[in-house]
Every structure is written in C-alpha cells, then in structure tokens.
Amino acid sequence: MKASNQSRKIIISIMIGSLLLLSFKVYENQEKPYNLKYPAYFGGRFTIPEDNPLTRDGVHLGRMLFYETKLSKTNQFSCSSCHQQKLAFTDGKPFSEGIDGSVTKRSTMSLANLLWVKNFFWDGRSNSLEAQAIVPLTDPHEMGQSLSESASKLEKTSNYPELFKKAFGSSEIFGDKIVKALAQFERILISSDSPYDQYLNGTYIPTEQELRGMNLFMAGPQPQNNIRGANCGHCHGTPKLFKELFHNNGLDTIPKDVGRMEFTGQEIDRGRFRVPTLRNIALTSPYMHDGRFKTLQQVLDHYNEHIQQSETLSPFIAEATNQVGGKSLLLLEDEKQDIISFLHMLTDSTFISNPDFSNPHLKGIKP
Amino acid sequence: MFMKKIFYSTRMFIISLLMASAGLMAQTTNKPFFTVEGEVLKPLKLTVEDLLNLKQTEIKAKDREAKEHIYKGVRLIDILDSAGVTLGKELRGENLAKYILIKAVDGYEVIFSLPEVDPEFTGQTIILAYQVDGNPLPKGEGPFRIVAPNDKRPARWIRELTTIKVVFSKE
C-alpha cells in the first residue's frame, strides 16, 4: 500500500514535471514567432500546419538547410543548386541535373509566395511544403539521400545540433525536423515589391504600354462588346498572379508527359499542369513544365497562334477570341508587346536580392 | 536503438505524408462521378446513371452569351437532401453557418449558402445539370455543372464539377 502510494506520487510528479517542461517548450517556441508580412491584397487563405508554426529559429535553420550540400549524397547539391535566388529560385534550364548526372522530368519551379499554394509540383501531387521537400531530397536522380542519412550527417557537425535545439527544442535530428525547417523557410519567400505591387500600392505610375498590357492581361475578350483581352488573368489573375488551378494549355494534342493524370489516374487530367505564378516571370525562363519556350514572345505566340486541340484542352483557352466567331485568341503583334511589357512589371528586385533569403554559409557562418 | 528510432520516426513520417498526398490516386474509375461529402449523414458518390434515380428537373437559363438553353439535371437541394444535409425545418440555428463548397476538376471553387438552395428560403432553383438542350454537356463543361439562373454573371455555374462539400464555418 505504502509502496503503491509512493509510486503514485512519483508518477504524478513526473506528469507535472513533463507538463511544466512541455509548457516551457511551447513557451520557448512562442517566444520568437516569425512575423509574416504580406500585402492585404494577397488575402489570408493559407494554412500553416499546427505542428510546424513559423519561428525565427525554425526559419533560420530552414535557410541554413536550404543551402546545405550535406543534404545530398555527393555533398555537392543543395536545394539552391536548382533554386537560385537571383533567378527567383529557378535555374534557367529546361531540366535540371541531379547527383547522378541525369536530368529531372520537369522544369524547376520558382519558389515565390508558396505560402498560398495548396498543391505542389507541376502535377499537384504534394499537399504541403513538408511533403514536397522529401521528394527532391530523397529522389535518387536529384539529391539522392535518405532523410535518416541526412540527419546523421548533420548530427556529426558542430553547429546543427544546437540549431535544431533552438528551432525544435531538442538537439536530436530527425528527418521530419529537416523538412519542417525547410518548409518554414520556403513559407517566408514572399515576393511583393515588384513595380506591379508598387502600382497596386499607388507608388508607381505605369507607362502607357504597361497599362495597356495590364488591361489586356486581366480582361477576357468580348468581341461582341468591343472589349479586347488576352484572358491571361482567367488563370493567372489576382495580385498573386496565379490561381490554384490545373489546366491543359494546349501545348500538345498527344502530350508526352500526361501531367496531373499521372497522379490522379483520371483521363480528364491528361495534359493538365499547375498554373504557376507569373511573379518574376521575366527571370524564370525557360517556360512551361518542359521548358520548351525560351522567351516570353514564344509563350505569347503559343497562346495566340499555336494552341493544340485535344479532349482535355482548357475551355477557357479554347473559347477565348477577339473576333466574333474567331477560332483563336487573335491578338495583334503590338498587343503581345504590351502584355510582355506588363510581365516585366512583375520582376521583384527586392525579392531576388533580399539578404534574408540568401546563402547564410557565405557570410562566415561555419557550416 | 537510437538509429532505429530515427529510421522509424522518419519512415512513419514519410508513410503518413505519402498516404495523405496519394489519397486521390485510389479513385480511378471509368464512369465519371462526383462526390457529396463533409457535413452530411450519408456521403455519396454519384454517376449520371445514379442521378437518373433522383427527381429530374428542367430549367431554362441564359448562358454567358445570353443564349437561352434548357438544362436538365437534379435540383441541388434534392442531391443534398439525399445525402442527409440539414435543410428545411432543420435549417436553423448553427446550421445556418454551414455553406456548400463546390469544386471542379481544375481546382476552381465556388460556394453557396444553404438558404440559397433551400426552397423554404428562396424562389430560385439551382440544379446540377448533366444535359443541355437534350444532349450531354460538352467536353470542358460536363459531365456535371451547376446552373444558377438568378446569378447575373455565371461565375458560379461551375463546370466539370467533382465535389460538393458541406462545410461548417469555423470562424
């Protein structure tokens, strides 16, 4: 009886102790939350997982890991090998080389305003940044290293155990902490200081050509009402310059890459790909999931003159025309140039030079 | 032991993420269908054939080009009713804070409130159409779409509908 009373006391004190510890831990994390700043016109429709709140230490660790070559099997590749800040976190190539010299199946996507994205990759197969990060880290043709190998490599360093302790309360390193930290860093990659943003904030006056381009970009054509438009905004509209949509944009009648269908197994998704953001689009050539277009001119030519018919072609592309009864978009050459000049308004030089997003290992911080 | 723990925790993490993201993959079928889910007593997965077993409704409505068509389908209220949604007498109190989130295959989403489709509240008839002027809805539009004739702009006439979800506002 006495013994059991004593053990009960011990159990109770352990419980109280762990509760105290737990609240301390939570308190510690809440002490340094990361304050997200974004314009009101982006809206608040995003979700940060409850088990991975943004903290300053978490974001810092994520940034260190984003530029960490130890996360690759050969110690030569980091996320930043393909996602370079100066190119709005792309690499300028149609396909990217991984550790084994082979190339990725699809073109590297820009990392801007991912906080508002729900379904990642060109086919939308990952529904969180945490899940997304695992793929390039562990794919044998990309960084090629299991998360547990990455964790044990980092444990052997002098600095990472402490960084993990600050970010997650314990210096033990696990794969899930690696991807959580990376996700935290990616969530703060917000691009909102382009001339277009300045225009929205009333601090930049667009040229006449930019203004014409903006109007054409956003408007759906209504030839019966004499309204000309390129209908880009139907999918790339709102100040975020993308909507969470998947469309077949008429690249091929029989697509070599079936896109979203590979993930859903549904015929209706054949040739559908994510609608990517057009922020910093002038920096992220080449274009499309396979990088087939080198220039914005080629992209405009595609949407205007070279749409390929198929069962799953987006009706919003098929139906858009600037002539009553027209079969294609029928923009004039000058109008295309106007739109291209608007697209250049989306280049955010603050984003690509923000020191908070840059390689921390280059600043004398020992890896 | 320690390494094992790392391995186990990482593995469980990956498995759970993969399961979450691969949820859709299992849903392969030859016949197109849509689902009714969320705050319902009986989740449904319905094909055009299944719709034929419900009460049929035809309405005249003008499309984006102001051309009048006859749309045939099932009233949204009848579909929701067969899934056991709080309508009619039950549409009171906290149930008035529910909304209908409708999704298309491309990811497009629109919402209606429950009173917008309930005849005890509104004179408008919103249908889930599968035919227009006697023909199946064309590609890019069907097999299922919403027709809401009172909307001046048909932006909620959502095409290629895949999911109807009744959701409680969590605000």
Which residue of B lies nearest to A138 if distances are taken between CA atoms? B14
Closest to A142 measured CA to CA, from A96, A178, A180: A96
- How would residue A365 be classed by pLDDT, with cut points 50, 70 and 90? very low
Q: What is the pLDDT of residue B15?
A: 52
Nearest to B10 among A175, A244, A264 (CB): A175
- How would residue A19 be classed by pLDDT, with cut points 50, 70 and 90? low
Whether A56 and A128 share a structural domain:
yes
Q: What is the pLDDT of residue A5?
A: 60
> Could you please report the per-residue DSSP string of A195-220?
HHHHHHTTS----HHHHHHHHHHHPP
Among residues of chain B, what percentage have pLDDT more than 90?
78
Q: Does A131 touch chain B (CB under 8 A)?
A: yes
In a domain, A363, yes or no: no
> Could you please report the per-residue DSSP string of B33-63?
-EEEEES-SS-EEE-HHHHHTSPPEEEEEE-
Please enumerate residues of B whose Cβ is less than 8 A from a Cβ of A.
Answer: 3, 6-7, 9-10, 13-14, 17-18, 20-22, 24-25, 27-28, 32, 65, 105-108, 139-141, 159-160
Residue A261 has pLDDT above 90, yes or no: yes
Judged by CB atoms closer than 8 Å, whether chains meet at A146 and B24 is answered as no
Which residue of B lies nearest to A147 if distances are taken between CA atoms? B10
Average pLDDT over residues A191-209: 98
Find chain B residues with C-beta within 8 A of A139's C-beta: none
Judged by CB atoms closer than 8 Å, whether chains meet at B13 and A246 is answered as no
Which residue of A lies nearest to B104 if distances are taken between CA atoms? A245
Question: Of A27-31, A259-263, B94-98, which gets the smallest average pLDDT?
Answer: A27-31
Q: What is the pLDDT of residue B64?
A: 82
Average pLDDT over residues B95-114: 97
Q: What is the pLDDT of residue A300?
A: 98
- How would residue B66 be classed by pLDDT, with cut points 50, 70 and 90? confident
Give CA–CA dist A185/A188, Å, rounded.
6
Judged by CB atoms closer than 8 Å, whether chains meet at A243 and B28 is answered as no
Distant-in-sequence, close-in-space partners of A292: CB < 8 Å, separation ≥ 6 = A94, A251, A286
Provide the CA B29 distance to its chain's centre, in angstroms: 18
Do B171 and B164 form a contact (C-beta atoms < 8 A)? no
Nearest to B159 among A244, A246, A315 (CB): A315
To the nearest whole Å, the CA of A124 is away from the closest chain B CA by: 9
Q: Exposure pattern of B75-103 as b/e (b: 16+ CB <10 Å)?
A: bbbbbbebbbbbbeeebeeebeebbbebb
Question: Of A22-36, A100-114, B46-60, which gets the smallest average pLDDT?
Answer: A22-36
Do B146 and B158 form a contact (C-beta atoms < 8 A)? yes
Residue A218 CB-half CA count within 13 A: 12
CATH number of the domain that residue A215 is part of: 1.10.760.10
Closest to A322 measured CA to CA, from A333, A314, A330, A332: A330
Q: What is the pLDDT of residue A185?
A: 98
Whether A114 and A46 share a structural domain:
yes
Neighbours of A365 (CB within 10 A): 11
Q: What is the pLDDT of residue B22?
A: 44
Residues A272-286 pLDDT 10s: 999 999 999 999 999
Residue A222 has pLDDT above 70, yes or no: yes
Residue B24 has pLDDT above 80, yes or no: no
Supply A155's token pair.
Answer: 């444990």
Judged by CB atoms closer than 8 Å, whether chains meet at A175 and B17 is answered as no
Burial class (CB in 10 A: 0-12, 13-18, 19+), A32: middle
Whether A325 and A259 share a structural domain:
yes
- Residue that wins the pLDDT comparison between A1 and A307: A307
Average pLDDT over residues A249-271: 96
Q: How many domains does the structure of chain A reveal?
A: 2
- Residue that wins the pLDDT comparison between A22 and B129: B129
Give CA–CA dist A184/B4, Å, rounded.
27
Average pLDDT over residues A13-35: 60
B32-168 CATH, one of 3.40.190.10, 3.20.20.210, 3.40.605.10, 3.90.420.10: 3.90.420.10
Q: What is the pLDDT of residue B13?
A: 53
Distant-in-sequence, close-in-space partners of B135: CB < 8 Å, separation ≥ 6 = none
Strand-pair category, B161-168 with B34-38: parallel
Burial class (CB in 10 A: 0-12, 13-18, 19+), B31: exposed
Whether A230 and A344 share a structural domain:
yes
In a domain, A19, yes or no: no
**3-class secondary-structure state, position B14:** helix
The ipTM value here is 0.80
Distant-in-sequence, close-in-space partners of A45: CB < 8 Å, separation ≥ 6 = A116
Which residue of B lies nearest to A324 if distances are taken between CA atoms? B65
The whole-chain average pLDDT of chain A stands at 93
To the nearest whole Å, the CA of A208 is away from the closest chain B CA by: 30
Burial class (CB in 10 A: 0-12, 13-18, 19+), B3: exposed
DSSP state of B71: E
Residues A68-82 pLDDT 10s: 999 999 999 999 999
Strand-pair category, A273-274 with A246-247: antiparallel
Whether A60 and A100 share a structural domain:
yes
Which residue of B lies nearest to A261 if distances are taken between CA atoms? B25
Whether A115 and A164 share a structural domain:
yes
- Give the CA distances from residue A278 to residues A194, A236, A314, B87, in Å, rounded to whole numbers and listed in that order: 12, 7, 18, 43
Give CA–CA dist B56/B132, Å, rounded.
13
Neighbours of A27 (CB within 10 A): 9
Whether A211 and A253 share a structural domain:
yes
Whether A346 and A200 share a structural domain:
yes
What's phi and psi for B161, nearest 5 deg? -65, 135
Residue A188 has pLDDT above 80, yes or no: yes
Question: Of A132-141, A152-161, B23-32, B141-150, which gets the smallest average pLDDT?
Answer: B23-32
- Which range of residues forms the domain containing residue A200? 195-350
Residues A226-256 pLDDT 10s: 999 999 999 999 999 999 999 999 999 999 9
Residue type, A338: D
In a domain, A322, yes or no: yes
Q: What is the pLDDT of residue A153?
A: 98
Whether A338 and A230 share a structural domain:
yes
Average pLDDT over residues A160-177: 97
The residue with tokens 């009886």 is: A1
Residue type, B131: Q
Among residues of chain A, what percentage have pLDDT more than 70?
90
Residue type, B164: I
In a domain, A1, yes or no: no
Whether A130 and A259 share a structural domain:
no
Q: What is the pLDDT of residue A362?
A: 86
Residue A1 has pLDDT above 50, yes or no: no
Residue B1 has pLDDT above 80, yes or no: no
Judged by CB atoms closer than 8 Å, whether chains meet at B6 and A175 is answered as yes
Question: Of A21-25, A42-46, A176-180, A254-258, which gets the smallest average pLDDT?
Answer: A21-25
